[in-house]
């Protein structure tokens, strides 16, 4: 039994030693983009476009960060909106939709792209 425990310990120690390490580099920073200091909630849509919240230091705005930086969606109806998350989905009809988490109002806003042209409309609140 001791030999089995010793063998397993040596195998696990050897496996741990072979794990590669990576040097992480910042991808988006507040000082080098149009996103503010509260940038978070990163997500990627089905076309590979990268998004994050706090576009132009506006907590109610979500911006596209890649391939170009531009406004994706802004909630103009509630002045205290604070988006902190973005997630994308394609529904059963093939329509892309985004879910935006609003931490202040305890809600999720869904915006849809019914035409498939990157024009997200018809927001709904859950």
Query: Residue 65's closest CA among 74, 54, 75?
Result: 54
Q: What are the tokens at 121? A: 């409309």
Q: What are the tokens at 66? A: 């890649």
How many CA atoms lie less than 13 Å away from 49 in the CB half-sphere?
19
Query: Residue 85's closest CA among 66, 113, 112, 104?
Result: 104
Residue 65: the pLDDT is: 85
Q: What is the dihedral of CA 86, 87, 89, 95, to 10 degrees?
A: 0
**Per DSSP, which regions of the chain are E strands?**
43-44, 50-53, 61-66, 70-74, 83-90, 96-102, 107-113, 121-125
Structural contact between residues 73 and 62, judged by C-beta atoms closer than 8 angstroms: yes
Q: What are the tokens at 88? A: 């994308």
What does each of the 126 residues of the chain score in pLDDT, given as a tens digit?
666 655 556 556 555 556 788 888 887 777 878 888 888 899 998 888 889 999 999 999 999 987 788 999 999 888 799 999 999 998 898 888 999 999 999 999 998 876 666 666 656 665
Residue 52: the pLDDT is: 92
Residue 9: the pLDDT is: 62
Residue 113: the pLDDT is: 77
Residue 91: the pLDDT is: 87
Residue 66: the pLDDT is: 79
């Amino acid at each position: 039994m001791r030999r089995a425990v010793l063998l397993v310990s040596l195998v696990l120690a050897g496996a741990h030693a072979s794990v590669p390490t990576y040097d992480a580099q910042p991808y988006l920073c507040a000082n080098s983009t149009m996103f503010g200091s509260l940038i978070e909630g990163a997500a990627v849509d089905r076309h590979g476009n990268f998004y994050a919240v706090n576009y132009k230091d506006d907590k109610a705005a979500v911006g596209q960060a890649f391939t170009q930086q531009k406004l994706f969606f802004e909630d103009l109806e509630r002045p205290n909106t604070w988006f902190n998350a973005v997630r994308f989905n394609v529904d059963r009809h093939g329509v892309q939709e985004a879910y935006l988490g609003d931490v202040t109002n305890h809600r999720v806003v869904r915006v849809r792209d019914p035409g498939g042209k990157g024009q997200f409309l018809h927001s709904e609140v859950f």
